[in-house]
């Protein structure tokens, strides 16, 4: 297997009760690419992302991250920044405090770096505003900051542009293209055709848990 | 900061985030109110007898079956957000992995239990203000309530057993209450966590409430089955009855059995939780 293949999903199947959510889904993501998954609500994109992260177990099939098999070799992806479903932070804390709390789980304290991250996504690091008072767009920006702050090689982003205004969308597109240039592998789900067209190197289309097409 | 210290700080932050919350504030407010109602007659007696009470009331208070039921219901409410899969936990778990996440939750349950019992003891002291004086002994008020019929006259719902006062110093009693209280609450939290992760949250709450109701069942059934309290961990919090030889309505095990049994049960539940966490699908919930 080529070492540049970062994420491999092979014939993934997942059921909840009698409902098949993923039906023999296969995708491959190589280093330094942006991969899009398009599909309407309920097509299985979020479940697929959760399986790749390790939150859900596949009933059949395999997921490989950097050649290692999820569930056999490790139980959860540890080199990825993620945004899955709507962003959720500790509502009583400020944005920077939330980032600090998460950052310090694996890293020494570095307030300057986190300030830079907040500014990069268009948030004020000195703001004492609690996340509970943030707008949807602000929370989404904070989620992006959370995903990129540890310089992870993989980004798994579920509708990252949700709630962002026009300028915000333009800024984030620019950011993701920069990250691709740094060699990051980005797997993102989106409803927005424009985002898909501008950002993605390859696009998978999903419907009812089935991978329909691959566009390059 | 080295890795070990960072992990300790993280565990403490998780505990602090859970414990210092509106939910805990509401529980403590209600607990204070309930304690005030239970302890008000003791304050009246203290005023009437012109003696101030010592602060060592909590072991007797927690032995009251109805107070114990109310107290443990608050504990169940506190842990009712099992299996702790609120969405903001997703970002933590991706950084620490499943097993460590479960370990952090279990430590957080233990720290919460310790915090709960300490605050409950402090609230019982606050309830007696200003009719309280710091002394190392049990004090005249408690002795009088144990040896005379003042409890009946003043309709004090709390039972003061002379055998307990005779056999323990206040410090010994408080340490025993703190230790057993912490372990019993930890046990309840762990069993809720295990049940929620193996089945679902409703099952966890039902299981917990069965344990919470058991002291009442034990009290009523123990005439027929004298050793029933041995099978009711929540009953073991009725510390003034531990090892009592003339306990009319059942025989309680002694402290060493209680502490040993609780530790073994907590360790067993930890193993079940760690085993189950490896295979469970994590379905994240919005905040309660």
Which of B86, B88, B276 is the best substitution to test chain A (most A C-beta atoms within 10 A)?
B88
Confidence of residue B1 (pLDDT cuts 50, 70, 90): low
Show the 3-state SS of chain A: CCCCEEEEEEEEEEEECCEEEEEEEEEEEECCCEEEEECCCCCCHHHHHHHHHCCCCCCEEEEEECCEEECCCECCCCCEEEECCCCCCCCCCEHHHHHHHHHCCCCCCCHHHHHHHHHHCCCCCCCCCEHHHCCHHHHHHHHHHHHHCCCCCEEEEECCCCCCCHHHHHHHHHHHHHHHHCCCEEEEEECCHHHHHHHCCEEEEEECCEEEEEEC
The residues spanned by each domain of chain A are 1-78+188-216
Q: Does B90 touch chain A (CB under 8 A)?
A: yes
pLDDT cut 90: percent of chain B above it:
65
Q: Judge: A80–B94 Cβ closer than 8 Å, yes or no.
A: yes
Q: Answer for the pair B230, B242: CB distance below 8 angstroms, yes or no.
A: no
Facing A75 at nearest CB: one of B86, B98, B286: B98
- Nearest-Cα residue of chain A relative to residue B7: A105
Chain A residue numbers with beta carbons less than 8 Å from the beta carbon of B93 are 55, 76
- Nearest-Cα residue of chain A relative to residue B10: A105
pLDDT in tens, B164-181: 999 899 999 999 999 999
The confidence score (pLDDT) of residue B247 equals 52
Which of B12, B21, B25, B94 is the best substitution to test chain A (most A C-beta atoms within 10 A)?
B94
Q: What is the mean pLDDT of chain B?
A: 90
The reported pTM is: 0.90
Pick the CATH number of A1-78+188-216 from 3.90.1570.10, 3.90.1170.40, 3.40.50.300, 3.40.50.970: 3.40.50.300
Quick check: B246 pLDDT over 60?
no
Chain B residue numbers with beta carbons less than 8 Å from the beta carbon of A146 are 91
Confidence of residue B188 (pLDDT cuts 50, 70, 90): very high
Quick check: B259 pLDDT over 70?
yes
- Which has more confidence, B209 or B225? B209
ipTM of the complex: 0.89
pLDDT tens for chain A, 216 residues long, are 444 899 999 999 999 989 999 999 999 999 999 999 998 888 899 999 999 999 999 999 999 999 999 988 988 998 999 999 888 898 889 999 999 999 988 888 899 999 999 999 999 999 999 999 999 999 999 999 999 999 999 999 999 998 899 999 999 999 999 999 999 999 999 888 888 888 999 999 988 888 876 776
pLDDT in tens, A67-119: 999 988 988 998 999 999 888 898 889 999 999 999 988 888 899 999 999 99
């Amino acid at each position: 297997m080529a070492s540049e293949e970062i994420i491999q999903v092979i014939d993934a199947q997942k059921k909840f009760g009698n409902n098949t959510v993923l039906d023999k889904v296969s995708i491959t993501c190589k280093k330094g690419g942006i991969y899009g998954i398009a599909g309407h609500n309920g097509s299985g994109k979020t479940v697929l992302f959760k399986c790749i992260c390790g939150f859900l177990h596949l009933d059949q099939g395999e997921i490989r991250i950097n050649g290692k098999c999820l569930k056999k070799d490790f139980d959860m992806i540890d080199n990825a920044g993620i945004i899955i479903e709507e962003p959720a932070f500790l509502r009583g804390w400020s944005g920077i405090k939330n980032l600090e709390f998460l950052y310090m789980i694996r890293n020494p304290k570095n307030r300057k770096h986190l300030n830079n991250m907040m500014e990069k996504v268009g948030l004020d690091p000195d703001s004492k505003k609690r996340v509970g008072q943030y707008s949807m767009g602000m929370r989404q920006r904070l989620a992006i900051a959370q995903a990129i702050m540890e310089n992870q090689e993989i980004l798994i982003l579920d509708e990252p542009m949700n709630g962002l205004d026009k300028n915000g969308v333009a800024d984030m597109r620019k950011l993701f293209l920069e990250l691709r240039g740094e060699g990051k592998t980005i797997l993102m789900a989106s409803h927005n055709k424009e985002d898909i067209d501008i950002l993605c190197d390859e696009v998978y289309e999903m419907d009812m848990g089935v991978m329909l097409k691959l566009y390059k | 900061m080295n890795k070990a210290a960072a992990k300790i700080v993280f565990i403490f932050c998780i505990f602090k985030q859970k414990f210092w919350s509106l939910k805990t504030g509401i529980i403590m407010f209600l607990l204070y109110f309930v304690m005030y109602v239970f302890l008000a007659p003791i304050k009246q007696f203290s005023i009437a007898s012109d003696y101030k009470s010592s602060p060592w009331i909590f072991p007797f208070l927690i032995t009251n079956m109805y107070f114990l039921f109310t107290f443990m219901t608050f504990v169940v409410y506190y842990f009712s957000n099992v299996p702790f899969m609120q969405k903001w936990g997703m970002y933590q778990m991706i950084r620490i992995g499943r097993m460590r996440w479960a370990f952090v939750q279990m430590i957080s349950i233990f720290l919460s239990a310790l915090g709960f019992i300490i605050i409950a003891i402090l609230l019982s002291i606050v309830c007696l203000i200003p009719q309280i004086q710091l002394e190392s002994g049990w004090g005249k008020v408690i002795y009088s309530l144990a040896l005379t019929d003042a409890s009946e006259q003043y309709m004090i719902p709390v039972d003061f057993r002379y055998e307990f006062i005779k056999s323990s110093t206040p410090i010994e009693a408080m340490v025993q209450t703190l230790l057993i209280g912490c372990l019993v609450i930890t046990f309840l939290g762990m069993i809720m966590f295990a049940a929620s992760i193996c089945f679902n949250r409703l099952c966890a709450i039902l299981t917990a409430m069965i344990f919470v109701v058991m002291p009442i069942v034990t009290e009523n059934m123990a005439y027929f089955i004298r050793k029933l309290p041995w099978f009711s961990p929540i009953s073991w919090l009725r510390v003034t009855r531990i090892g009592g030889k003339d306990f009319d309505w059942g025989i309680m095990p002694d402290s060493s059995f209680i502490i040993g049994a609780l530790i073994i049960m907590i360790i067993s539940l930890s193993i079940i939780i760690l085993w189950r966490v490896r295979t469970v699908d994590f379905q994240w919930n919005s905040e309660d």
